[in-house]
Amino acid sequence: MAAIAGLALAGSALAQSVVVRSTGPSSATYPQGRKLPADAAVVLKAGDRLTVLDKAGTRVLSGPGTYTLSGSINRDAATGGTALAAMMARGGGARTRTGAVRGAPMGPVEAAPSGPENVWYIDVSKGGTYCVADAATLVMWRPARTEEGTGKLLSQDGSMAEVVWRAGNALKVWPSASVPVVDGQTYTFSNAVGAPVKIRTMLMGSVPADEVDVAAAMADKGCTAQLDLLASLAVAEKAGG
């Protein structure tokens, strides 16, 4: 019986969905971060808008209506899965990309992106709670990259570091030598452009291989800033057709 129960629990953990954004009358029933089992029936009221993440990517459910999260998705699952995998990629690529744009020639001025292209980057323009896969490769991201940018990072224990972005660069490796990344610690980032923001870091002891399991782990740790970024992927996919 114990073995059967274990298999049942393992099965329920697979093919689940995670709510990454929720608005409307049913937001209390389906709050951001809620994990839904396979084949769950989601009942939405008028005005509800639910963004869920599953193995094929992200999608938006709008009420009123009843939706069964069976894995049958009315879009190109391969495209959605590829976009999700790219956004959630982690490892040494962060360091490579941070240096890749240094000294790059300046092209036409483009509108600043609304958020990072990678879920592991910390958006210093908004702050929030972020899960950290690897403190040694943690990257800080800024939306305005045309000009050189500077800011100050201050930890609650008094450690401080100046952060400088070169013109044309949106990425900067977190100055961990001066301001160590500590689990559960809150930092203040300030610059001359906007109001200071609070950044809270939550270290992940291990990172699951599956993207949905990663999102579930982020939800457990309260890393809502990253769930919001995953929700933006659904908006981008819908806008792209």
Mind listing the pLDDT tens digit for each residue in 18-67? 999 999 999 999 999 999 988 889 999 999 999 999 877 788 999 999 99
CA 208 to chain centre: 15
pTM: 0.78
Token reading at 57: 């990517």
If pLDDT is split at 50, 70 and 90, which confidence band does 194 have?
Answer: confident
Contact 179, 155 (CB under 8 A): yes
Domain ranges of the chain: 2-84, 93-101+118-206
Q: Which CATH architecture has domain 93-101+118-206?
A: Sandwich (2.60)
If pLDDT is split at 50, 70 and 90, which confidence band does 205 have?
Answer: confident
Contact 53, 63 (CB under 8 A): no
Please count the other Cβ atoms lying within 10 Å of the Cβ belonging to residue 142. Answer: 23
Interacting residues of 235 by C-beta distance below 8 A, sequence separation 6+: 60
Query: Rounded to whole angstroms, how far apart are CA atoms 219 and 31?
Result: 10
Higher pLDDT, 232 or 160: 160
Tell me what pLDDT residue 110 has: 52
- Number of helices (H) and strands (E) in the chain: give both, helices first: 5, 14
What is the residue-averaged pLDDT of the chain? 81
Tell me what pLDDT residue 50 has: 94
Q: Omega into 196 within 30° of 0, i.e. cis? A: no
- Whether residue 79 is predicted with pLDDT greater than 50 in this model: the reply is no
Query: Rounded to whole angstroms, how far apart are CA atoms 70 and 55?
Result: 11
